[in-house]
Chains A and B, each alone.
Chain A
């Protein structure tokens, strides 16, 4: 009986605590909801703004001579915005096969046509992805009362993907067409009234290809690079641009120069740079990096679209805009050596739909060549096995290598068979000097230095292939969204540096400065750190086994 009462007491207390927790949490949620206030768009019944990632290029061509009434630039912008938004809504509705939102952007007589199209899609059990990349608008007519506007959207690049309900890609297509469009100001919004697809009339490109032979100069320069991948010590990856510090950059670049490197490879974060609408501050920061590099006589390979793994068509316009902004802004910067369009794109072959990634890559390559015809372009592949993909499109082939140094030669040889006439660059390699105290990871600084030496040896043998080491610093912290949640992987990422987290030069650094010196191996290094832990555990187990009678009696006493 007494036991029962005790048992119920415990249950009762636990129950009360649980109840209190639930009630407090619930009341809190309600209070948060009540104090949050309404969404402005909901309250004022405003149609949602264009999302930041949907930013197709809009150009107004020269107006017709007689447009009825001259167009004001204020209304011109509103009309273009509403037109893009309307087509975006159409694409969204085709994607979801739902008619929601159509009535905000299409006039009464246009809606049945869109609805019919949506019905067809929903009956065919497929998903239609569609995006327009550019709009070249030529104004024909603007009514005197400012209520009607007629224009032609010329040479629209539309991309389409067809997927089944499971998301498997069935087909993809790029098409070019003109659209005769009539819009009406209705309820204060410009809505599409008529849309007629016409055969495309090409328009001359505004960007003229560079005819001078500057690309050859950069490719020549690429042969003699001695590079390093750069992130600051305390703010690697996603912290770099957000907490950018020009003083740190200056200090680090001086150090890089002192270590004898002449090139750095940096990474531009797609999302942090503002997707399609590139944030001006971020451009300034990138410019500061490039200027600092110029001051220290360093060349820079800029890697774009880092951490972007959205390959849906709706992200294409934003990719295009960011590419255009960055390439046209910096293509004349003296520090710039080459563009790496995407870091380790072949990893996304595994995680994403492979064909979508490939389509995106091809799209980006084509656009990059248009925006900057001077600088060489490439994609840094994660594995040399994949580096032959799209090799014809690139000016040089770039790959990463983190496996045994002895097998690098083989990898290069087999790559050379597939890629005959393009220069190769090893744009990432390195070894972590991570010595875990728990997990069976034991790579010493000596091994790291030896790895560097061996890789350099192989590269020299294979025809002086230029290389870029990963990385300058041992990082103080690596967030789990970079390297995964597993501690042995995360910690491993911290120790690839030439300079330790405390600022001291590691053995590899000594080797880089004095390559003639022999790398000495210390005696203690030959014992892995983790072995000490397991020896202690083993000794404790043995002791416990010997004294087992004593331990049992101790337990008995406690239980009684």
Chain B
């Protein structure tokens, strides 16, 4: 009864599966046997030239009724494989354009049956000639420094040309001389060292390989380390008036081969002032000369000036004596307006002291400094504005010191604004 219903046969399915699994690991064994391949061969020999020029056509002809063969090409830049379906076949142009040794192997049934090597020769140098200059600038120090010019001549397929292809180098040196060299390429390049000479300027370089010219190159020969130099002053007004300027000027600064240093060489100028303080000023050379305008001091005395470049190359030292511009001055005080008036301030040549000169008043009890500028020979202090100072004051101008004592009347504070 049960067997009539075929659904119950599915019950056998797991048993079937278990059976397969058991059979699998009982009987299934992996065996490896190395088979030796039997290869039927046929003989063929390439009949190809030993060398060809790049870009030429090369065809490979196989005899009629040749079985299906393949070709393996090893060229300078890679490997290529081709199934030969025809009896005559042209090697692709892109392969024939690469100079160097080309290996051609003919395969049949995984075996090499014929081999050939063709050297693909580069063509003549083709423009533009590629050139490299480094360094771009060197010091004209008579041959200590050098630069290098390199040419990499290539043919029209950008293959490096043959070894020993001459490259013509010509140089126009700064001293007007011309030089020319023929240097053969070696290991793909042709190069020439350019040694510096003694004159500053541009070396113009041109190169030519066969008929291919290259770009013009410029080598800059620059001046070397400066030598010690002189400084001098000019347009000097010898009074410490703090108004006039005098000109400081270096001599033409040169290197050891008498080349003027490059424009923009930094010159540091060290000054010891008449009041004993130090300062450093800078200037740049133009045409080898650095110039600087320096203001006269306000105190009489000696100003010491020296210059250097790179803190190393020193100049001479200048000592400039500045005289007093004023010997004495008057002081007046107006009690009504409470104005302290200093002047007239008369200079060495009976002229007013320049407007803008500074007069200093120290209010001694308060230890307070007041400053006023000279206008048309006088300097005025409005003491009312300065909170009615009382007592001793020191007045300083151009290194002269004077003391006065001003006693203001004691006022009633209630009558603040109504003083006599």
Contact = CB atoms under 8 A, between A and B. Distances in A.
B189 A198 contact: no
A143 B148 contact: yes
Contacts of B105: 173
A346 B30 CA distance: 11
B80 A346 contact: no
B147 A144 contact: yes
Contacts of B53: none
A440 B22 CA distance: 9
Interface string B129-164: 000101100000000001110101010001110000
Interface stretch (A72-80, A122-130, A215-223): A122-130
B76 interface: yes
A199 B51 CA distance: 13
Given A109-B158, A173-B112, A194-B160, A121 B80 contact: yes
Contacts of A179: 76
Interface stretch (B92-100, B284-292, B394-402): B92-100
Interface residues of A, number: 66
Given A140-B187, A196-B188, A347 B79 contact: no
A383 B76 CA distance: 44
A536 B177 CA distance: 113
A349 B34 contact: yes
Interface stretch (A48-56, A110-118, A278-286): A110-118
B92 A196 contact: no
Interface stretch (A5-13, A14-22, A147-155, A459-467): A147-155
A144 B33 contact: no
Contacts of A498: none
B103 A117 contact: no
Contact of A144 (B76, B148, B159, B186): B148
Nearest to B74: A175
Nearest to A163: B81
Contacts of B22: 440
B77 interface: yes
B160 A143 contact: no
A197 interface: yes
A488 interface: yes
Given A117-B77, A175-B74, A196-B159, A180 B148 contact: no
Contacts of B98: 113
A158 B101 CA distance: 14
Contacts of A488: 25
A117, A146, A347, A439: most-surrounded residue (chain B CB, <10 A): A117
Interface in B6-34: 22, 25-26, 30-34
Nearest to B148: A144
Contacts of A199: 101, 117, 119
A120 interface: yes
Given A346-B32, A383-B32, A440-B22, A124 B82 contact: yes
B187 A152 contact: yes
Contacts of B25: 439, 486, 488-489
A236 B122 CA distance: 61
Interface of B: 22, 25-26, 30-34, 70, 72, 74-83, 92, 94-95, 97-103, 105, 107, 110, 112, 117, 119, 132, 134-135, 146-148, 150, 152, 154, 158-160, 186-189, 191, 193
A365 to B, nearest CB: 16
Given A150-B187, A197-B100, A128 B75 contact: no
A145 B134 contact: yes
A199 B50 CA distance: 13
Contacts of A152: 187
A150 B160 CA distance: 12
A113 B81 contact: no
A111 to B, nearest CB: 10
B81, B100, B132: most-surrounded residue (chain A CB, <10 A): B81
Contacts of A542: none
Given A175-B103, A196-B160, A350-B30, A170 B110 contact: yes
Contact of A195 (B33, B74, B76, B107): B76
6 contacts: A116-B94, A120-B95, A141-B186, A143-B132, A179-B76, A386-B34
A120, A130, A179, A193: most-surrounded residue (chain B CB, <10 A): A120
B78 A94 contact: yes
Contacts of A118: 78
Contacts of B76: 113, 179, 195-197
Contacts of A147: 132, 134
Contacts, number: 172
A171 interface: yes
Nearest to A349: B32
Contact of B80 (A128, A385, A440): A128
Contacts of B101: 177, 197-199
A68 interface: yes
A160 interface: yes
A455 interface: no
Contacts of B81: 121, 124, 126, 128, 162, 170-171
A148 B110 contact: no
A140 B186 contact: yes
The 8 closest A-B pairs by CB, nearest first: A145-B134, A117-B78, A116-B94, A144-B148, A140-B187, A197-B100, A197-B76, A196-B100
Contacts of B158: 109-110, 112-113
A165 to B, nearest CB: 12
A436 to B, nearest CB: 11
B150 A148 contact: yes
Nearest to A196: B100
A196 B152 CA distance: 14
A452 interface: no
Given A162-B81, A175-B74, A148 B189 contact: yes
B135 A144 contact: yes
A68 B112 contact: no
Contacts of A158: 74
A389 interface: yes
Interface in A67-121: 68-69, 90, 94, 109-110, 112-114, 116-121
Contact of A160 (B74, B100, B188): B74
A196 B34 contact: no
Contact of B148 (A68, A119, A198, A389): A68
A257 to B, nearest CB: 36
A323 interface: no
Given A171-B72, A197-B75, 20 more contacts: A109-B154, A113-B98, A124-B82, A128-B79, A130-B78, A130-B79, A141-B191, A147-B134, A148-B150, A152-B187, A160-B72, A162-B70, A173-B72, A175-B74, A180-B100, A180-B187, A182-B188, A347-B32, A386-B34, A489-B25
B152 A114 contact: no
Given A143-B150, A145-B148, A180-B160, A150 B33 contact: no
